[in-house]
Structure 1
Amino acid sequence: MTAGRSFSWEGDLIIQDTRIRHKRFVIGAPKKQISTDIRAWISFDDDIVMKEILKRLRDHEALPSSKEPGDFDRRAGIIWNYVATSIEYVHDTGEYKEGDFWFFPSETFALRKGDCEDSTFLLASLLIASGISPFCVRVALGEVFDGAGRSLGGHCWPVYKNERGRWCILESTLDTAPAVLPEADRLTSAGQAFRYLPYYCFNNRHLWETLPAETAPGEGVNIGKYLRVRKNRVDMRNHIGGEHG
């Protein structure tokens, strides 16, 4: 991994084939895989379960429903902190899962636990259901590297475009969210204790390949291969300190 890479968090190249495998199985037949559309893991805009969660946040956490300056960023911060404090981080090889098995947002909410994908899908779904445009929300799939360029493991994280037009990483696996939304570009630059490297991003509309500036389309990592062979997921709580906030 080279220093100084910049990324288009909007996504660079729309991927038409959005099918993925190995993430769900037929109930009672764990060897029978179900193909899914990766976009389906982010709830649609008016999902009633997400709306019920947001009503509780409006009633108890002062989640703004108005559209005054700053309200969208405050909305994102409150939702981020809710997911960080309410969803316990667990690895796939725990009580509820076998292998790299993904939960849908309503399942993660019901269980109150999940890994990086599960909490990320819930957070992104809540952002969109709160009225934030899907085009200001992304789920990134990639890796995290330490300051020496060594891979810490595969990871999934939410990205939100703030009211100043800057993309921010809302790390869903934290125990609590910081007061400031950290800008994504800073967390991919040199000089950090850890750096995020996105390969793909998606929302409930599209799947995109995310390429560093010096990479030509078609030179990236195939998403099917990435999902099959990616390394063990990194627990970011072990690495995040002052850099994320």
Structure 2
Amino acid sequence: PDPWNLYDLVCRNIDYRRDIGEFWAFPSEVLASGTGDCEDTSNLLTSLLCCGGVNAYTAIGDYQGYGHAWVDRGGQIYETTYIQARPVPDPEHYTPYCLFNDREMMELWPGALGEVFELRRNEGVKLNLMAEAIGNEVPPECPSCWPFLVFGMVMGGILGTGFAMILQKGE
């Protein structure tokens, strides 16, 4: 599979929803619901890439002082909270602490995993920082209200689960 196409598939078809607390969903749950936050969508893309034989990791770490997750593919950042696949314009603001996939977990220095849980968490501010980096504004009062419309459900889909197809308004 083409990694960029899988990246775009996740960005366009999974609606960003922030957690209440910190709940990590399985990739099949993200596909079935069509929603997830940064670690949910990152774990989904990492799973899809690894199932396709592509070496990739979910990275958890810091984005401009806030806890965040993204996909690392050989040093290339795949930001799964975007609404379409695009290069990250500010890779210098992403600091990974730990990388993991279904085969291994790496702390990038001793104690890094513990430090992840000390990072600030404010989804609205974090999403606005990312939106500013790509030239868009996400309303801070509603970071999950990007213009998506549920179009339908394809049963059986990827990884043997239902897959919600989301259609972006205006395209």
Q: How does 1:70-149 map to 2 (within 5 A)?
A: 75-93=2-20, 99-132=21-54, 136-145=55-64
Quote the Cα distance in structure 2 between the aligned partners of 1:103 and 1:78.
22
Which among 108, 124, 130 is matched to residue 210 of structure 1? 108
Tell me how far apart the structure 1 counterparts of residues 73 and 56 of structure 2 sit (CA, whole Å). Answer: 5
2:62 maps to a residue whose letter is E
State the secondary structure of the residue aligned to 1:177: coil
2:26 alignment partner AA: F
Match of 2:167?
none
CA RMSD of aligned residues (A): 2.1
Q: Secondary structure at the match of 2:134?
A: coil
- Quick check: 1:175–1:237 contact (8 Å CA) kept in 2? no
Distance (whole Å) between structure 1 residues aligned to residue 52 and residue 24 of structure 2:
23
Displacement of 1:130 in angstroms is: 1.5
* 1:142 partner amino acid: G
8 Å contact from structure 1 (residues 142, 200) kept in 2:
yes
CA distance in 2 between counterparts of 1:226 and 1:159 reads: 17
Alpha-carbon offset, residue 210 of structure 1? 1.6
Name 1:158's counterpart in structure 2.
Answer: 71
Distance change (3 Å), C-alpha of 1:225 and 1:197: closer
Alignment partner, residue 174 of structure 1: 82
**Structure 2 vs 1, CA of residues 225 and 144 (structure 1 numbering), >3 Å: closer, same or farther?**
closer
Of the three residues 124, 133, 141, the one matched with 1:240 is 133
Q: Amino acid of the residue matched to residue 102 of structure 2? A: N
User: Which residue in 2 is equivalent to 1:56?
Assistant: none
Q: How does 1:39-50 map to 2 (within 5 A)?
A: none
Q: Hey, what's the Cα distance between the residues in 1 that align with 2:39 and 2:19?
A: 10
**Residue ranges of structure 2 left out of the alignment (5+ in a row):** 136-171
Corresponding letter in the other structure for 1:196: Y
Deviation at 1:237, TM superposition (A): 4.3
How many Å apart are 1:224 and its aligned residue? Answer: 4.0
Name segments (4+ residues, structure 1) moved above 3 Å.
none
Number of matched pairs: 131
After TM superposition, give the deviation of residue 225 of structure 1 in Å.
5.3
Unaligned runs of 5+ in 1: 1-63, 65-74, 94-98, 146-150, 162-166, 189-194, 212-217
2:79·2:88 contact (CA, 8 Å) conserved in 1? no
One-letter amino acid of the structure 2 residue matched with residue 226 of structure 1: V
